[in-house]
C-alpha cells in the first residue's frame, strides 16, 4: 500500500530570524466579520508573496494559527483532535494566565521594516473585522540570548527531527501537516535577576551562562532546573518541541521580556511542560525562572497545513 504524502506544512521548522512579530487578533462576533477574516486568512500566502519579493534576501515568512473559539465558524470543519483553549495553570506561587486570541500571525524576517509593512497591509485587510489584542516586536539579542542573558534555543531539533517533533502525522489524518502552537508573553524583573549570582542563575536555567554548557540534572525530589522541568519523557522516549522565543523590550518603560512560542506535534507535551514549570515537579518546587518572569498572556492555536489555509475561502 502506498503511503499518503503529508500535506506541506507552513514555515514551522525555519531557522531563527533576526526579527519577528507576534500578532494576536480576536475576530468580531458578526457573520460579516467572520467572512472577512476567512478571506484574509486564506489570502495570507499571497500577501506574503507581495512582501517577500521586496526583501533583498527573500527571507520573509508568516505562519497563521487559528484558536479554538473561532475554529468551527471560521473553517466549517471539526477541530483538530487536541485543539482546546489555553487553560489557566495555577501553582502555589505563580499562575500561567489564559488570555484571548482567535488568530496568531507569527511573522519572521531579517528586516523589521518588512514585518511592519506586512502587518500594515494585513490589518488594513481585516479592517473592523478583527482587533489586535497583542502585537510584540521581537529582536535577536547577541548570540541568540534572551534578556536573562542566556543562550535560548539550543536544545531545539533541526532538519527532519524538527519536523517529526512539530508536524502532526497519521494520528490525526485530517490535520496532518499542521502543528499546535502555544504562546506566552513574559515580563522579566531584571533588577532582581541581576542581583542573583551567576551560579544561582545557571542552576535556575540548567546551563552555564558564558559558554552555554549543560549542567547535570538534579535528583528526583530536588529542585530542578528549567531545562529539566521542560524535558518530557515517557515510555515512548523524550518528547521535544520547537521554540522560537524572542526577546522584546521597551527600555524607556522599563519593560524587558521574552515572548515564548512553542510548536509541537502534540499539544499535551507543551501543557505538561507548563504544569511542571508552574505547579512544580514535585510540587511545590516550581521553575524558579518564574520568580523573575511573569506570564502576562497565554494562548493556544493550531497552525494548519498550507493548503488548508488557502482553501478556506473556497
Footprint of ligand HEM (CB under 6 A):
146, 148, 150-155, 184, 186, 205, 207, 226-227, 230-231, 241, 243, 258, 260, 262, 270, 273-274, 289, 293
Nearer residue to ligand HEM within complex by CB, 125 or 157: 157
Is there a catalytic annotation at residue 152?
yes
Rounded Cα–Cα distance for residues 59 and 52 (Å): 7
Nearer residue to ligand HEM within complex by CB, 96 or 129: 96
- In the bound complex, what is the minimum distance in angstroms from residue 247's beta carbon to ligand HEM? 9
- In the bound complex, what is the minimum distance in angstroms from residue 60's beta carbon to ligand HEM? 25
* Crossing angle of the two packed helices 31-42 and 44-52, in degrees rounded to 10: 40
Asked whether the CA dihedral 293, 296, 299, 303 is positive or negative, the reply is negative
Among the listed residues 152, 240, 244, 287, the single catalytic one is: 152
Give one DSSP letter per residue of 82-100, joined into a string: T------EE-SS-EE----
Nearer residue to ligand HEM within complex by CB, 152 or 163: 152
- In the bound complex, what is the minimum distance in angstroms from residue 304's beta carbon to ligand HEM? 22
Nearer residue to ligand HEM within complex by CB, 84 or 227: 227
Give one DSSP letter per residue of 173-205, joined into a string: GGGTT-EEEEEEEEEE-HHHHHTS-HHHHHHHH
Closest C-alpha to 97, from 106, 88, 105:
88
- In the bound complex, what is the minimum distance in angstroms from residue 57's beta carbon to ligand HEM? 25
Partner residues linked to 303 by β-bridges: 179
Cell digits for 41? 486568512
| 136 to 133, 195, 247, 254: CA distances (angstroms) | 10, 27, 10, 15
Catalytic annotation, residues = 152
Amino acid at each position: 500500500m502506498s503511503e499518503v504524502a503529508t500535506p506541506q506544512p507552513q514555515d514551522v521548522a525555519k531557522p531563527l530570524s533576526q526579527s519577528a512579530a507576534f500578532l494576536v487578533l480576536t475576530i468580531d462576533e458578526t457573520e460579516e466579520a467572520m467572512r472577512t477574516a476567512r478571506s484574509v486568512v486564506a489570502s495570507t500566502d499571497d500577501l506574503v508573496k507581495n512582501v517577500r519579493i521586496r526583501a533583498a534576501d527573500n527571507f520573509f515568512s508568516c505562519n497563521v494559527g487559528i484558536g479554538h473559539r473561532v475554529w468551527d465558524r471560521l473553517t466549517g470543519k471539526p477541530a483538530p483532535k487536541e485543539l482546546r483553549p489555553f487553560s489557566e495553570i495555577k501553582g502555589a506561587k505563580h499562575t500561567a494566565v489564559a488570555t484571548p486570541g482567535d488568530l496568531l500571525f507569527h511573522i519572521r524576517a531579517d528586516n523589521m521594516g518588512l514585518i511592519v509593512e506586512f502587518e500594515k497591509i494585513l490589518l488594513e485587510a481585516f479592517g473592523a473585522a478583527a482587533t489586535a489584542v497583542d502585537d510584540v516586536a521581537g529582536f535577536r539579542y547577541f548570540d541568540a540570548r534572551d534578556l536573562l542573558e542566556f543562550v535560548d534555543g539550543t536544545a531545539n531539533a533541526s532538519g527532519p527531527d524538527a519536523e517529526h517533533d512539530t508536524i502532526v502525522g497519521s494520528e490525526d489524518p485530517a490535520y496532518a501537516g499542521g502543528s499546535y502552537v502555544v504562546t506566552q508573553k513574559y515580563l522579566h524583573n531584571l533588577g532582581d535577576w541581576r542581583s542573583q549570582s551567576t551560579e544561582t542563575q545557571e542552576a535556575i536555567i540548567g546551563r552555564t551562562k558564558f559558554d552555554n554548557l549543560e549542567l547535570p540534572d538534579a535528583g528526583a525530589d530536588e529542585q530542578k532546573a528549567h531545562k529539566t522541568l521542560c524535558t518530557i519523557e515517557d515510555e515512548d522516549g523524550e518528547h521535544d518541541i520547537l521554540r522560537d522565543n524572542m526577546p522584546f523590550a521597551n527600555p524607556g518603560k522599563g519593560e524587558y521580556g521574552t515572548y515564548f512560542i512553542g510548536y509541537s506535534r502534540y499539544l499535551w507535551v507543551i501543557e505538561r511542560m507548563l504544569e511542571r514549570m508552574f505547579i512544580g515537579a514535585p510540587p511545590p518546587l516550581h521553575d524558579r525562572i518564574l520568580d523573575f518572569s511573569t506570564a502576562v498572556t497565554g494562548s493556544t492555536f493550531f497552525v494548519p497545513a498550507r493548503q488548508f489555509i488557502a482553501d478556506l475561502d473556497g
